[in-house]
């Protein structure tokens, strides 16, 4: 893999001891986020996760610990919104990553100075890491699309365009919240079973969707597409996304133009952005099933074929109010891998820009629900419960067809591969509150 360098060396350790003990954030990861100390009256600022700590990038820069291109990039990475470093591009990202790796390694001569720049994650709170201008959500799991399509069109579950074009729709950036988000149950119109006219009320079929999020880098001028040949240049990194969905509202409104109120009330994201450089060792070949149509030339390249996909393990867990009150752990709902995705990250971004759309630093693109082909890999309750017909039983005997008030959905993700360090995404957790009624 051409993009591997000394920062990926699995033998590297950090003087931050917690980074060497099975953390999501070893020195080979170094994800970016925006944080502040809880109840300290501070402004949000950029930081990098290392073990159970956060390196305050601005404090490290003020201490004179960066030089060269990394010193130019560091103030951007210390800002309260990360659109600045996202706009800088791969050369600046690489320089900053290398500098951070060398500063945080075991044996760094700057350890004592840097210890004063650390903030425990347990004493921090987070915010959405960038100013999100646009939030499209794709639909790239053929298994999810087939499972859902079968519920509504048993004889024709998969629409014919799915295998030719990365399908997507536009979401709502203003309702995106960082992990820990609490959101009221949505309200809207639904069509009762057997009814001929809709009714208005609280959503009864509230669902999660286990997704990844793509954080945009430099972007492109309006009218000029992003070529598929470059895998990493346009993309800053990936995170976890839970696109909450009001299924009853969705079923009534989605024809002919697709989701609207069913998808605009809340989306929860993880606070940390895992850079494309950190993910480089976990790339894998992208293939199409035998007999499926080949992608059109603008969506195809040797690089996409050889290493366009990512082997990222993803999981969803449910902690009910009852489990939480009893001190019980959450129950796992889904376990799959992003390698199952029918379309790659690069293909999604390329297709988004091909018609002339100007993508911008800080845009967030959801990958769509990432279900796999086997039992346990369905990544939404709509699939798991077959549209609510087969309730799910939790460890304490409670059942679910869809989410209830007080339920918390927790997403997790990680990458591991022989010869490389395991890196994780942290958690993405959102909790359902009762609807706001007037």
Q: Which residue has the tokens 């077959």?
A: 386
State the CB neighbour count (10 A cutoff) for residue 297: 8
Cβ neighbour number for residue 130 with a 10 Å cutoff: 24
Give CA separation, 304 vs 227, 333, 344, 356, 373, in Å.
Answer: 12, 31, 8, 22, 22
Measure the CA–CA gap between 23 and 106, rounded to whole angstroms: 16
Question: Is the backbone peptide bond immediately before 256 cis, with ω within 30 degrees of 0?
Answer: yes
Q: Which of 144, 335, 340, 352 is catalytic?
A: 144
Which of 251, 257, 148, 245 is CA-nearest to residue 190?
Answer: 251
First to last CA, the chain: 58
> Quick check: 9 and 26 in contact, CB under 8 A?
no
The pairs formed by 319-325 with CB atoms below 8 angstroms and a separation of 24 or more are 319/407, 319/408, 319/410, 320/394, 320/396, 320/398, 320/400, 320/404, 320/406, 320/407, 320/408, 321/404, 321/405, 321/406, 321/407, 322/396, 322/398, 323/394, 323/395, 323/396, 324/406, 324/408
110 included as an active-site residue: no
Torsion 192-196-201-205 (CA) sign: positive
HSE of 430 in the Cβ direction (CA atoms, 13 Å)? 31
> In residues, how long is the chain?
438
Adjacent-strand bridge partners of 201: 188
Phi and psi at residue 254, to the nearest 5°: -75, -15
Six-digit token string for 389:
């017909």
Q: Which of 117, 120, 102 lies closest to 58, judged by CA?
A: 117
Q: Which two tokens stand for residue 302?
A: 């040797």
Looking up tokens 């709502």 gives 172
Q: Comparing C-alpha atoms, which of 168, 194, 150 is closest to residue 359?
A: 168
- Which of the residues are catalytic? 144
């Amino acid at each position: 893999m051409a993009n591997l360098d000394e920062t990926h060396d699995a033998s590297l350790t950090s003087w931050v001891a917690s980074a060497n003990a099975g953390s999501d954030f070893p020195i080979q990861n170094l994800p970016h986020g925006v944080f502040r100390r809880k109840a300290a009256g501070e402004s949000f600022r950029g930081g990098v996760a290392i073990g159970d700590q956060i390196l305050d990038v601005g404090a490290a820069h003020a201490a004179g610990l960066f030089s060269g291109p990394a010193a130019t990039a560091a103030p951007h990475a210390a800002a309260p919104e990360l659109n600045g470093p996202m706009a800088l591009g791969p050369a600046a990202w690489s320089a900053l990553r290398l500098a951070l790796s060398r500063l945080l390694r075991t044996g760094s001569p700057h350890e004592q100075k840097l210890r004063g720049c650390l903030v425990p994650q347990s004493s921090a709170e987070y915010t959405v890491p960038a100013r999100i201008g646009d939030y499209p959500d794709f639909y790239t799991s053929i298994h999810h699309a087939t499972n859902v399509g079968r519920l509504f069109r048993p004889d024709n579950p998969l629409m014919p365009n799915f295998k030719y074009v990365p399908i997507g729709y536009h979401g709502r950036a203003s309702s995106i919240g960082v992990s820990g988000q609490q959101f009221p149950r949505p309200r809207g119109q639904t069509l009762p079973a057997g009814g001929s006219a809709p009714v208005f009320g609280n959503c009864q079929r509230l669902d999660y969707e286990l997704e990844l999020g793509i954080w945009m880098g430099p972007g492109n001028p309006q009218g000029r597409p992003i070529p598929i040949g470059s895998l990493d240049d346009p993309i800053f990194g990936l995170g976890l996304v839970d696109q909450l969905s009001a299924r009853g509202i969705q079923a009534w409104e989605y024809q002919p133009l697709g989701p609207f109120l069913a998808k605009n009330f809340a989306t929860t994201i993880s606070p940390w952005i895992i850079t494309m450089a950190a993910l480089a060792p976990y790339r894998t070949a992208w293939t199409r099933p035998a007999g499926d149509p080949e992608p059109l030339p603008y969506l195809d390249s040797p690089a996409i074929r050889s290493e366009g996909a990512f082997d990222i393990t993803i999981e969803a867990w449910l902690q009910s109010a009852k489990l939480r009150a009893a001190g019980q752990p959450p129950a796992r709902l889904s376990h799959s891998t992003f390698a199952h995705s029918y379309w790659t990250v690069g293909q999604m971004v390329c297709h988004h820009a091909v018609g002339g759309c100007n993508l911008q630093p800080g845009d967030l693109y959801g990958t769509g629900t990432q279900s796999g082909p086997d039992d346990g890999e369905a990544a939404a309750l709509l699939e798991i419960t077959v549209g609510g017909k087969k309730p799910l039983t939790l460890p304490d005997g409670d059942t679910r067809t869809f989410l209830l008030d007080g339920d918390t959905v927790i997403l997790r993700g990680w990458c591991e591969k022989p010869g490389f360090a395991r890196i994780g995404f942290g958690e993405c957790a959102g909790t359902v509150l009762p609807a706001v009624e007037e």
